[in-house]
Structure 1
Amino acid sequence: MNKKSCLNCGYTISDEFCAHCGQKTDTARITYLSLIKNDIFGSIWHVETRFFKTIKNVLLEPGKTAMDYISGKRIRYYNFISLLLILFSFNVLALHFYEKFVTEETIHEVSKIRAFFSKYSKTILFVIIPMLAINAFFVFKKTKLNLAEHFIIGTVSLLGILVIFLLDDIVSFIGLWKPISKITDVVDKIIFVLFILFPAATYWNAFRKMYSKLGLIGRVSVLYVLMGIESLAIITVLYKIF
């Protein structure tokens, strides 16, 4: 049997991928066909498939998605931190474009919201997850997850919230058309409830097999009380600074 060497690192290979650097072993000469099929369409399809699959899993099974990732099932998911930054950017852009279409009587209020959100976006992003992680670390002590693992669950929870915010942005755009504004107002209230309940859904989905229903309801309630107090304190400080 002829031994092959990886064209990238020179490591001896015998499978589809190099065990040393991970490069595919069938790195033949680049042609127009292979460029289009593998490098362009292949890359786009691979990225988009994982991107949308991750979003779907985050919305439908947030806790399970987080626990799968923690347990080592990671290649199936788009990187959570990268996805977080992408969704956060989409939310800022959506708010920016919404401001362009609102009526004069609401433009001042929207501008204030946008200015606050834009100025403190990084603070909001990097405070919510640690808050969730630290509080959950003590509230859900029985799970024996470390702080970094709770950070992952908090990240997944925020991912779901950002997707819900994007959905709310779409509803807000549709609501600018006056004939259906009353309907979109109702939908907007439903989305707000989903936003409030999503962290609870995340932790329920993650730990429902580790606690009794009553015990889990109690712990989630404690988590919400802690988050509410801390969030109120942070928002008060930021508004005074603002």
Structure 2
Amino acid sequence: MKEKSCLNCGYKISGEFCSHCGQKADTARITPHSLIKSDILGSIWHIEERFFRTLKHVLFGPGRMAMDYISGKRIKYYNLFSLLLILFGFNVLTMHFYLDLNPAEIPKDSAKILQFFSKYSKIILFVIIPMLGVNAFFIFRRIKLNIAEHFIIGTVSLLGILILFLFNDMVSLIGLWQPAAKIFAILDKASVVLLVLFPAVTYWNAFKNSYSKPGLLWRVSVLYVLMGIESLTIITILYRIF
């Protein structure tokens, strides 16, 4: 059997990928068939598969996913920080759509608050990660994770919050259709409760095998108290500046 060489760097190939540069071993001449099947459809499917798989794990096993990511199991997940920016962008778009379609229903005071959160939403949302990371670093110190690893758990938690925010925005948009208003009002309230509780779900899911239930409960409760005080302080300072 003739030994193959990598077409990118010239190194000898013994497996599916080149051990030197990482290029696939089967990079043959591009044909119309390979262009459509592998380069176009294959790349789209690979990106979408990882994207939606990551969303599923964020929603239904956030803590377990975060601990897998920290332990090095990352190939099956979409880049967390890229996903964060994508979800944030979708949230901004849906919020603008809602405000454009429903301006008359928003009271003047509420409109001012919405304008404030729209202006400072990046600061308010992204400061959640360091707040969660630093607080959890001290509260869950038995786990022996460093501050950067706690930031990863905070990032996964924020991803879940953004997904639920996006769901909430979409529910609000559909709720503008009057025949469905009551049903979607209930869904709207339920999604708000879920997004508030999501950090608790994340840390419970991550550390449920490391602490007793009472021990984990009081630690999560302390985390929420600290987060509440810090969030209120930051929002108050920004609102006064605004």
TM category, shorter? over 0.9
Secondary structure, counterpart of 2:186 in structure 1: helix
Match of 1:66 in 2: 66
Q: Which deviates further from its counterpart, 54-63 or 107-116? A: 107-116
How far off its partner does 1:114 sit? 4.6
Q: Distance in 2 between matches of 1:27 and 1:101?
A: 50
For residues 193-223 of structure 1, the C-alpha deviation after alignment (integer angstroms, 9 at most, x for no partner) is 1011100000000000000000000000000
Query: How many percent of aligned residue pairs carry the same amino acid?
Result: 69
Deviation at 1:113, TM superposition (A): 4.5
Larger mean Cα displacement after TM superposition, 6-15 or 232-241: 6-15
The answer as to whether partners of 1:99 and 1:111 remain within 8 angstroms in 2 is no
- 2 CA distance for matches of 1:6 and 1:111? 60
Matches within 5 A, 1:132-211: 132-211=132-211
- Mark the CA change 1:93 to 1:108 in structure 2 (over 3 Å): closer, same or farther: farther
Per-residue CA deviation, residues 120-170 of structure 1 (Å, 9 max, x unaligned), is 233123311000000000000000000010000000000000000111011
Q: CA deviation at 1:37?
A: 0.3
User: Aligned equivalents of 1:46 and 1:105: distance in 2?
Assistant: 42
CA shift at 1:103, angstroms? 4.4
Following TM superposition, the consecutive aligned residue runs of length 4 or more in structure 1 with deviations greater than 4 angstroms are: 107-111
The TM-score, its normalising length taken from structure 1, stands at 0.95
State the Cα distance separating 1:109 from its structure 2 match: 5.5
RMSD across aligned positions (CA): 1.5
Once the two structures are TM-superposed, the CA of residue 111 in structure 1 deviates from its matched residue by 4.8
Deviation track 1:31-73 (CA, whole Å, cap 9, x = no partner) reads 1111100010000100001100100010000000000111111
For residues 57-100 of structure 1, the C-alpha deviation after alignment (integer angstroms, 9 at most, x for no partner) is 10000000000111111001011100000000000000011112
Asked if 2 retains the 8 angstrom alpha-carbon contact of 1:67 and 1:206, the reply is yes
Counterpart of 1:11 in structure 2: which amino acid?
Y
Is the Cα contact below 8 Å between 1:6 and 1:13 reproduced in 2?
A: yes
TM-score, with length taken from structure 2: 0.95
Number of aligned positions between the proteins: 242
Report the equivalent of 2:82: 82
SS in 2 for 1:120: helix
Unpaired segments of 5 or more residues in structure 1?
none
Q: Aligned ranges for residues 7-26 of structure 1 at < 5 Å?
A: 7-26=7-26
